[in-house]
Amino acid sequence: MKRHFDDIQLGSIELFCLAAEAGSFSAAALEAGVTPAAVSRSISRLEERLAVRLFVRTTRSIRLTEAGRAYFEQCRQALAQLIEAEREAMGKQSQAAGTLRLSVPTTYGHHRILPLLPLFRASHPDVKVDIHLSNRNIDFVSEGYDMAIRVRALPDSGLIARHLEDAALVVVATKSYLAAKGTPVTLDDLALHDCIQFELPSSGRRIPWLFQDQGKELEILAQGGYCLSEDVLGGVTLAKNGAGLFQTYKFVVEKELQSGELVQVLTPYQGRSRPFTLLYPHNRHIPLRLRAFIDFLMEYRALWATQ
C-alpha cells in the first residue's frame, strides 16, 4: 500500500477535528497542548493540500464551511476507527473509554439520565461524560455529539433512532391554587384557569396540551398569565408555588404527587403521552463507549415503561 499521509498531515487532521468539535482554535490548542498559532498553521496547511476552505474565520469565531462539515464527518469517523483499531490491537477492545458527549432535554436529563450516570461510570470508569442539557436540536457533525435524546425522532436519514419510552402526561396544581380558583372538572373549565404554557425554542410555538375524551384525541391551546421558554421545568416550579395549572410528564412530578405537594386534575381525560427517542449517527463503527451507554439505557427502558 502506498503511503498517503505523513505524520504532520495526520496531526493536522486531528487538530482540525479538535477545532471543529470545540468551535475554537484556542480550545483545540488547549486540548492538544500546543499554541493557537500552531493549530491555525496546521489547518492552513490542510486547506492548502485540499485546495478548499474548511473554516470561515472572523476575529471572534470560526465555523465550518459546507465542505468543512462534510470533511469533518468523514475524518471524525476515520479517527474513531483508528482509535478502536488501536485498542483492539492492544487487547483493550472490551473496555469502554474516552469522552461520551450527550445532548438531553432538561426534563429527561434531571429525572432520567443524570441520576443514572454514577451507576454507568461505576461500571465504565474510563468513560468521561460531557452532558448538554437543553431543549434545542443539536447538530451532530458541527457540535461533535455522540448521542441525543429528543421527544421525537428527527427527519434525518443519517441518524439511528431507538425508542426509550412513551411518557405519560398529567395536569397538576397545588391544593391552595385549587381552593382559590376551583378544581377543573371538564376541559371547558380550562378557560377559567391560569394555564402555564411552554414555548418551543426551535419554532416559538406554544405546545398544546394533550387529552383524550371517550377515545378521541384532543389538543388544546390553553391560556394563562405565564409562558416559559428554554427550561420546561420552570413550569413545575411555578405550579408548585401556586401559579396555576401545568401539564407535564408524570415522571417529573411523581414525588410531588405522592407527597401531596401537587394534585393531579382532569384525570378522566388523561391517557396521552409523548415519545422519547435516543438518536445517534449512522456510523459503520460505533465507539465502544457509545455502544456501552446505549446498552445501559436499554436495560432501564422496561423499568420506565412500568412507571
- Is the pLDDT reported for residue 158 higher than 70? no
Average pLDDT of the residues in 49-53: 90
Residue 64 CB burial class (10 angstroms; 0-12, 13-18, ≥19) = buried
Which positions ≥6 away from 203 have C-beta within 8 Å?
Answer: none
d(CA 106, CA 244): 21
Q: How confident is the model at residue 90 (pLDDT cuts 50, 70, 90)?
A: low
Residue type, 41: R
> Which own/partner pairs from 230-239 qualify as long-range (CB within 8 Å, at least 24 positions apart)?
230/134, 230/135, 230/201, 231/106, 231/135, 232/105, 232/106, 232/107, 232/135, 232/198, 233/106, 233/107, 233/110, 235/196, 235/197, 235/198, 238/196, 239/172, 239/173, 239/174, 239/177, 239/196
The pairing of beta strand 98-104 with beta strand 127-133: parallel
C-beta atoms surrounding 55 within 10 Å: 21
Query: What is the reported pTM?
Result: 0.69
Look at residue 2 and tell me whether its pLDDT is greater than 60. Answer: no
When pLDDT is cut at 50, 70 and 90, the band that residue 89 belongs to is low
The mean per-residue pLDDT over the stretch 269-293 comes to: 85
Mean pLDDT calculated for residue range 236-253? 96
Percent of the chain at pLDDT above 70? 88
pLDDT value at 92 more than 90? no
Find out whether 164 and 276 touch, Cβ atoms under 8 Å.
yes
